[in-house]
Amino acid sequence: MYVERASRLAGAVVWSNAPERAGAARVLPDGCMDLLWHDGRLLVAGPDTHAHVTDGENGAWAGVRFYPGTAPALLGVPAHELRDRRVELADLWSAAEVRRLEARVNAAPDPVSGLEDLALRQAAGADPPDPLLRQVVTALGAGRPVAATADELGVGARQLHRRSLTAFGYGPKTLARILRLRRALALARGGVPFADTAARAGYADQAHLARDVRELAGLPLGELLAGRG
């Protein structure tokens, strides 16, 4: 069973998942990075450019999903180095430090609260998030074109691309495409017909929506909404 709630860390979400049956699961790209706990270990999920299909590993999971662009400052690693990857936190930080943190999370009342406390401590010692990055996410999430977003924020296209690679793991066009997919899925899951979903989410037409869903999610939209795969 999957459960999530807003975190005490601004913009983040904490979640837990105890699969009710064995088998692979599909995690869709969302522009975010996650700090994960599984079987007593700490891991990091980098930003995805396509659906990540889990291997069906048994057992409970917990995570902190950071607002897009905020995790690299907390982890000390540019997002593009973790693009489409799942790595042990010990691959990024010293093994001794990670063992200490794992012990602290494992001693918490539950892994979710332990992870959340860890994220809050990291955020307290990190530089505050770049406000421009949140503006980028807000603008692209609302469907603003990349070029118009750069102009409105007073940054050049190359600078925006460079800062996006560090913060999001990919350029602003990929981020815009992923956020557009999230808008479309929210509409379709709410019962909006596919043709209307395409128009309202910013696609050229329903065929464009269908292609993007297949490429990013790995399934046709109807199968995705039905929970297959």
23 to 20, 59, 63, 85: CA distances (angstroms):
10, 11, 19, 20
**Phi and psi torsions of 43, nearest 5°:** -135, 170
Q: What is the dihedral of CA 96, 102, 107, 108, to 10 degrees?
A: 130
Helix then strand then coil, % of the chain, to nearest 5: 50, 15, 35
Give me the residues paired with residue 87 across strands.
44
The structure tokens 């959340």 sit at: 116
Query: Could you tell me if 29 and 216 are in contact, meaning their C-beta atoms sit under 8 angstroms apart?
Result: yes
How much is the pLDDT for 163? 96
Low-confidence stretches of the chain (pLDDT beneath 70): 20-23, 56-58, 228-229
Amino acid at residue number 143: G
Collapsed DSSP state (helix, strand, coil) of residue 66 = strand
C-alpha 54/C-alpha 50 separation (Å) is 13
Distance, in Å, from the CA atom of 37 to the CA atom of 106, rounded to the nearest integer, reads 9
**Number of H-type helices and E-type strands within the chain:** 10, 8
pLDDT for the residue 106: 97
Rounded to an integer, what distance in angstroms lies between the CA atom of residue 201 and that of residue 159?
27
Please report the pLDDT score of residue 55 as a whole number.
Answer: 74
The pLDDT, as a whole number, for residue 45 is 98
Q: At what angle do helices 194-201 and 206-217 cross, to 10 degrees?
A: 80
d(CA 209, CA 69): 25
Q: Which residues contact 80 (CB under 8 A, 6 or more apart)?
A: 165, 166, 169, 170
